[in-house]
Amino acid sequence: MDSGRRNFHAVWPSLFATSTGLNAFLPVLAFYVQERFGIVDGAELAFWTSIVYGAAPLAAALAGPLWGGLGDRVGKKPMAIRANLAIAATTALMPFAPTPVVLLVMRAVQGVLAGYVAPAMALVSQGTPRSEHGLVIARLQVAMAAGQATGPLLGAAVTHWFGRDAVFWLTSVLSAGAALRLHLSANEERPQRLVGAPPFLREFLHSSRQLLGNRVFAWLLVLVLVLRLGQNMAEPFLALFVRELGPEALLESLAPTRQLALDLTVGSVFAVLAVAQIGLTPWWGRLADRHGPLRCLAVLGVALAIVQAASAAVGTIDQFLVARALAATLMAGSMALAYAAASKRVVDERRTLAFSMIQSCMQFAFAGGPMLGAMIAVTAGGATEYRRLFVAAAILCMTAGLGMFVLRRHRTEAHNAHGP
């Protein structure tokens, strides 16, 4: 088995395991914060949910490029293993947090030490022809989407039988297992350290300037950030929005308690999104290889804006599930297309850093979206109105989509991306 295929078969299950664990507790983090710390005020709950939810991706966005540069220097495999072990250790400690502030700090530490997606994808793509990067990256995203589908439902079942604290320990075990899988199965020749190579920080700054010197790549980072803000703004509040709409009728009739029916409905909202991603992400990857990832991102952004605007008008949980399924057909392509667009514009020696920059933009959106959403959702009187989040998200997605149309008209400055 060649290096690319061997690493694909090692990375795919590791991404699936880690994604499953994280998505077991993130969709219902608002419920955990409310129950664990006895928060009853709606505005206060929105505040703590947003900053605890966003602390890890914000810290990961800041630290990610440094880990990416280090991965190009010492190897992608050790960086992926390190990130998974960090997630396992920090998540295992979260149920012991006595206050929301301590939980916030734990999430921030998790973000600083994590960042498992970029090195994992770079590890696989380095052994794959560039003409197939869109499809291969899309297939790796399917692993994360499968985890998004499995995690919420598994988390609901574990919560019902063992309590919410047990979900964090489930995440820890799965992340540790992902690290073990990479250690045993992934293959990588460590980058050779050249005699007289500059210190790491100097090399990191030089490589970053080279990448950001490509205006197409730099603007791609900005537009990916805007698009992902539109996608992530409402995510941490979906559990609270679903509670306003009520549990799905069939689940309520089958579940022994209303709370379990509500947890399962929340899980279904995220699972619908993930299931669609599993089926459609490779299709987006093929479109990227055939028509270009920037063109596909442009269409995706405009169409997603329309769906987000429609989500603001739903009246029942069934309507919202349909809207989520439509959004999923579009969201399925955003990550793979962004990585594919970056991959076509960088050399192998800079790919982990470039992927880390893309990942940092997504993480900034993952962190900033909830915080921005909390400010938009809370009215002047302290009440919460979650529907306005979808309107704001639609505006951001439309802005990103139109920006992609403009960006693809510019000449790709490959000489800047490739460096001297």
Predicted pLDDT at 415: 36
Cα distance between residue 247 and residue 49, in whole Å:
21
Predicted pLDDT at 196: 58
Predicted pLDDT at 191: 63
Predicted pLDDT at 291: 85
Predicted pLDDT at 266: 85
Cα distance between residue 183 and residue 187, in whole Å:
9
Predicted pLDDT at 91: 92
CATH of region 3-186+200-418 = 1.20.1250.20
**Sign of the Cα pseudo-torsion (349, 353, 357, 359, in order):** positive
3-class DSSP string for the chain = CCHHHHHHHHHHHHHHHHHHHHHHHCCCHHHHHHHHHCCCCHHHHHHHHHHHHHHHHHHHHHHHHHHHHHHHHHCHHHHHHHHHHHHHHHHHHHHHCCCHHHHHHHHHHHHHHCCCHHHHHHHHHCCCCHHHHHHHHHHHHHHHHHHHHHHHHHHHHHHHHHCCHHHHHHHHHHHHHHHHHHHHHCCCCCCCCCCCCCCHHHHHHHHHHHHHCCHHHHHHHHHHHHHHHHHHCCHHHHHHHHHHHCCCHHHHHHCCCHHHHHHHHHHHHHHHHHHHHHHHHHHHHHHHHHHCHHHHHHHHHHHHHHHHHHHCCCCCHHHHHHHHHHHHHHHHHHHHHHHHHHHCCCCHHHHHHHHHHHHHHHHHHHHHHHHHHHHHHECCCCCECCHHHHHHHHHHHHHHHHHHHHHCCCCCCHHHHHCC
Predicted pLDDT at 181: 92
Predicted pLDDT at 27: 77
In the structure encoding, which two tokens stand for residue 158, read together? 């574990």
Predicted pLDDT at 56: 85
Parts of the chain with a pLDDT under 70: 1-2, 127, 130-131, 133, 191-198, 345-349, 379-384, 410-420
For the segment 271-280, what is each residue's pLDDT rounded down to a tens digit? 777 777 788 8
**Sign of the Cα pseudo-torsion (123, 127, 129, 132, in order):** negative
For the segment 111-128, what is each residue's pLDDT rounded down to a tens digit? 888 878 878 887 887 767
